[in-house]
Each structure stands twice: as structure tokens, then as C-alpha cells.
Structure 1
Amino acid sequence: MTDATEGFPLDAPMSGSFLPAAAPRESTSHMIAEALRAAIVDGTLAPGAPLRQDAIARHFSVSAIPVREALRQLESEGWARAAVHKGASVAPLSANEAREIYEIRSALESLALGLAIPHHTATTLREAADLCRAAEREEDPSRYVARNAAFHMCLYAPAGRPQLKDMIELLHRRGERYLRLKFGLPSYKGESDTEHAALLDAVERRDIATAQSLVVAHLLGTGELLHRFLTERAREEAALAHQPKPRGRRPRVTTGS
């Protein structure tokens, strides 16, 4: 935290203006939303952290208007929550939300995959294979999240369903924080890479039923794993909060003879 941002917890205050002076307002609000989203994903802005409009506006050297629009966008996507008389804050992580995101993704992505497979070409399959290998080699969590989304969306692109694509991309964005959590769980990376390879193989063989079954199992499994992890963590945190605090040692009282 820095005095320059009055507690706005980004890594460091920015020197000069973050945005071009002549940037259109819509572009400005989008860029601010992207920066805040990235800070939430990497943990710089923790769940429950306040998102003060004045501090954010000073940090990005902009007026309050694009900040309000950015916060409204983040709230609509589930990244932020607004309370009357309290302002906006980073939305808490929720076991139920994590599971629901992946349940919905499993339905939509299974549909998209079934529509896309008949229209894949040698070129689109080669692109998907390249993205699959790139994700397998990636060790940085932030870049892996991006490569994971790119691989999935590449599989669905030939479906030619723009509204379905938009809905899936929104769920990917809402699930980014949760996917980062899964990165810290044992054996996740290897399991995910193996599941991606099997999914790609089914798509290359034009086996729609198998591909749909694999993507559903992959996504539902992720949702259930995250639900268990977050539920157990919440239980542990609640138990710690209810533990009695250790009392300090009482000072010895001495009396004169």
C-alpha cells in the first residue's frame, strides 16, 4: 500500500498517466476493468478489499466517470460487489459459485463442441494442437490461465455461434480466480494437460460423443474439486476464528515484608 493511492493495493503507484489523455471513455473504462481484474486474479486485490472510486481514479490518473463504469462492469461479471453506503469491494470467493460456473460451462461447452467438430479443418486442428502444447509447457499460472482459455475457445470457434461464444468467454473470465486456486492443488497441472490431450484427440477423430463426454467430465471435475477445496478452507477458517485467544501472562504481584 502507498500513500499515493490511499490504500489502493496495487503493486506500485504508476508514474504519469496510465492511459492516453485522448483515450475514448469506453476504452478507458475497459482498460481500468482489465487492470482491476488482473489484480484480483493475482491476489493483489484480495476478496473483500475495498474498491474506492477516488483512490482508483488517482491511481490511473482519470476522472471518476470511467472508474464507475469499470466497477459497474466488474460487478456485472461477478468480480465486485456493491453495498449501499459502503461502496464497492472485491467479491468473496464462493464454493457454490465455483461449482456453478463449471456446471454451466460444461453444458455450454459440450454444446459448442458438438457444433464445432464437423466444421474443424486441418488448419484449425493444427492451431488447437499448438495451443494444447503451449499450455502443457507453460508453468506461469497467469499465462497458463490465458493459454487454457485460448485452447478451449479454439476448439469451439468453428461452431460459428457468436452469442454462445460470448457466454462461454464470460464464464471463463468469472472462473479465472478459481482456476488459479486449482493451480496450487497437488497434481492439477499434469491431470489437466492429460485431459486436454485426450479431448484434442477425440476432436481430431471427429468423435463428437467422446469429445463431449470428456469436456463435461473435465469441467465438472474441476468444479467439484474447487467446491471441496473452498468448503474445507472456509471450515478451517471458521474453526480458527472460534478458537480462544491465548491470554497474556499475568504480571507477578509482589508485596513488601
Structure 2
Amino acid sequence: MPTDISPAGASSPGLSFRDAQFEPRQSTSRFIADALRSAIVEGSLLPGEPLRQDAIARQFSVSAIPVREAFRQLESEGWVTIEPNRGAAVSLQSADEAREIYEIRASLESLAIGIALEHHTPETLADAQRLLEAAENEPDPALYVVRNEQFHMSLYAPADRPRLMEMIGQMHRRGERYLRLKLGLPIHKDASDAEHRAILAALAARDIQQAQTLVARHLLATGELIHRFLADAQALAQTTHTKKKRRASSRTTSRQAKQ
């Protein structure tokens, strides 16, 4: 399903109900939220970019009500920031948030794999293997994010803990755009795929301690990697901003001296 959400004021009509497959059972607000989330993950909507309620309502040919509901849903998931008198905007990426998401995932997913381990069957392990291979062979970063989540969830599904699975799913969704940063360099994807294989091997060997250790280590390392990447980028941006201010101040001082 395409997710080309045009920025406010753009001439392109972007995604609408007319050119997307819409399931009748899916609420309008959920459909819009999913489309906006995909646009953020794929980079069509950038961090800090305003989300104009009226423009999005026109784009989807709906009233403002489902758009507001979609904004509230995305705000609860951390994708959107809503400020009084300023409206909604795509949330800025945060190094600390990224690390915390993966710390939470490490705790939840090591618990889930420990519960699931004794309930796995040859069939469920074969399914996990199939999903692992699908992720390894997926060249599209956007689709890899989906395959990655499918593989991880297949490791925990036999635990039969719906509320735990729901919490893990929420953390996966909150971490989607951060995971895309890790996939920028192929070496990180290769390392992640190798870690997935080791986790599945421990699961197949019924080694609960090893499976839990590997899952936690895999997720914590990802969180630290993304935290460093974002922290370095933020420090560089701050340094660049400071240098520009100094140059501007110097030019102003020089002009005043000449006067």
C-alpha cells in the first residue's frame, strides 16, 4: 500500500482512499494513522514537520474528526507531538528515547522468549526459520522492518500471552524509525541477521538462558548503537549552529566597526 503523504502545501495529492486498499473493518482514523506512520518511517514526513489537519483531511476526503483521532493515536505512540496553539508535528528523534525503547524491549522480549521456549514445536520453529530467511533476503529497508518484527514475534507467539505480545508490538512500532537508522549501513544489517540466527539456534536447542541472554544482548546493543548515532548527530548539529551564530555575530561586529 503506498504511503506517500505530501507535506502541507504540496501540490501532489498524496495518498487518499481512492488510490489505496481500504478494509471496511478498519476505522478511518486508524487508516489515516497507519498511513502517516508509514510516511514518517519512510521519510516522506520529516522530524519536526508540521501536520496540517485541514490539508490531511482534504487529502483523505474526510472531516477533521478522524484526523484529530489519528493524531491522538500517533501522539500516544510517540510519533506525533501536539502542542496547544501550535498544532501537531512529527516528533523529533531522541537518542534517549531510542535507547529506552530498546531497553524496554530487551526486558519484555527476554521474558517472552523464556515463556515461549517450552511451547515451541517443530512447526513453529520452521515458521520462525522461514521468517528469518525472509528478513535476511529483504533488500527494502521499509519491508525489512516488517520482516524483522514478524520474525521476533514468531519467537514469542507460543507463549500465549496476548497482553505481553501487545506491549512488545507497541514497542516495535515506536522503534520503527529508529531501526531504519541502523539499517543505513549493510554491516549492521548483516550483524543483526547473524544475531537472529544465534537466537533461533538457542531456541531450537531449548537453552532458555542462552536464548534470553542473546535476545537481551541483541536489543540492548541496537539501542546503544542508535543512541550513539543520534547523540553524535545532535552534537554535530549543535556545533554547526554555534559556528554559524559566531560567524554572523562577527560579521555584524565588523559592519558596526566600519560605520
Which AA in structure 2 matches 1:64? A
Q: How far does residue 85 in structure 1 lie from its aligned partner after superposition?
A: 0.2
Q: Which residue of the partner structure matches residue 99 of structure 1?
A: 99
Deviations, residues 235-254 of structure 1 (Å, cap 9, x unaligned): 0011111113476xx9xxxx
Spell out the pairing of 1:198-209 with structure 2 (5 A cutoff). Answer: 198-209=198-209
TM-score w.r.t. the length of structure 2 is: 0.88
How many residues matched? 244
Determine the C-alpha separation between the residues in 1 that align with 2:145 and 2:10. Answer: 23
Deviations, residues 40-98 of structure 1 (Å, cap 9, x unaligned): 00111000011111011011111111111111000000000000100010000000000
- Give secondary structure in 1 for the equivalent of 2:27: helix
Deviations, residues 79-134 of structure 1 (Å, cap 9, x unaligned): 00000100010000000000000000000000000000000011100000000111
Query: 1:120 aligned to 2:123?
Result: no
Q: How far does residue 6 in structure 1 lie from its aligned partner after superposition?
A: 7.4
Q: How far does residue 27 in structure 1 lie from its aligned partner after superposition?
A: 1.1
Determine the C-alpha separation between the residues in 2 that align with 1:203 and 1:217. Answer: 15
Q: How far does residue 186 in structure 1 lie from its aligned partner after superposition?
A: 5.6
Deviations, residues 212-248 of structure 1 (Å, cap 9, x unaligned): 000000000000001111000000011111113476x
Q: Which residue of the partner structure matches residue 242 of structure 2?
A: 242
Q: CA RMSD in A?
A: 2.4
Q: Which runs of 5+ in 2 are unaligned?
A: 1-5, 255-259
Q: Which residue of the partner structure matches residue 253 of structure 1?
A: none
- Give secondary structure in 1 for the equivalent of 2:43: coil
Deviations, residues 128-152 of structure 1 (Å, cap 9, x unaligned): 0000111111111001000000000
User: Rg: which structure is higher?
Assistant: 1
**Contact 1:112–1:164 (Cα < 8 Å) also in 2:** yes
Q: Which runs of 5+ in 1 are unaligned?
A: 251-257
**Greater helix fraction, Structure 1 or Structure 2:** 2
Q: Which residue of the partner structure matches residue 7 of structure 1?
A: 8
Q: Which residue of the partner structure matches residue 57 of structure 2?
A: 57
- Give secondary structure in 2 for the equivalent of 1:187: helix
Cα 1:159/1:10, change in 2 over 3 Å: farther
- Give secondary structure in 2 for the equivalent of 1:139: coil
Cα 1:14/1:197, change in 2 over 3 Å: closer
Q: How far does residue 13 in structure 1 lie from its aligned partner after superposition?
A: 2.9
**Contact 1:71–1:80 (Cα < 8 Å) also in 2:** yes
- Give secondary structure in 1 for the equivalent of 2:47: coil
Q: Which residue of the partner structure matches residue 229 of structure 2?
A: 229
Q: Which residue of the partner structure matches residue 257 of structure 2?
A: none
Cα 1:109/1:217, change in 2 over 3 Å: same
Spell out the pairing of 1:27-38 with structure 2 (5 A cutoff). Answer: 27-38=27-38
Sequence identity (%): 56
